[in-house]
Amino acid sequence: MAMTLHCDIVSAEEKIFEGRVETVICEGEQGELGIKPQHAPLLTRLNPAPVKLTLQDGSEEVFYVSGGFLEVQPHVVTILADTALRADDIDSAAAEKAKADAEKVIADKMAEQEFAQVASDLARAAAQLRTLREFKRRKGR
């Protein structure tokens, strides 16, 4: 049996996942991170992106996080997310619409303050769509 560690994914609203995992793959500020048992302690911000877990039984689950923090301890990984969703709970049509709306606003050349908010909205929508694509690819759909 492979070595595992405990993983919690928690959003502001609820605990999304709790269980034993072999690996956690997520996107921190400096790029993609792969966490396995006995990883060095770490604390970093997370970008809006998919989080991929390889569970104790070898199956995989994919989640979307809108940002937050990752804490790694020797036997525990905790993801504290602003928003977290299971990939199969993401509304594909709503994410596509949000992405298209944000791209349109950017194309219309808004003020700098508005640009920051729209860029953030665009990053969230794009990350949700990447999460859905990853989920569907892993599920063979």
List, as one string, the DSSP characters of 64-83.
EE-SEEEEEETTEEEEEESS
Q: How far apart are CA 141 and CA 138, in angstroms?
A: 8
Check whether residue 18 and residue 67 sit in a common domain: yes
Check whether residue 72 and residue 111 sit in a common domain: no
The most confident of the ranges 68-82, 108-122, 125-139 is: 68-82
Check whether residue 83 and residue 102 sit in a common domain: no
Check whether residue 97 and residue 59 sit in a common domain: no
Model pLDDT for residues 55-84, shown as the tens digit of each residue: 999 999 999 998 899 999 989 999 999 888
Closest to 115 in 3D by CA, of 123, 105, 125: 105
Average pLDDT, the chain: 85
Domain of residue 100, residue span: 88-139
Check whether residue 34 and residue 98 sit in a common domain: no
Taking the CA atoms of the chain, what radius of gyration do you get in angstroms? 16
Check whether residue 80 and residue 115 sit in a common domain: no
Check whether residue 32 and residue 93 sit in a common domain: no
Q: How far apart are CA 37 and CA 119, in angstroms?
A: 35
Check whether residue 23 and residue 83 sit in a common domain: yes
pLDDT for res 13: 85
> Structural domain tally of the chain?
2
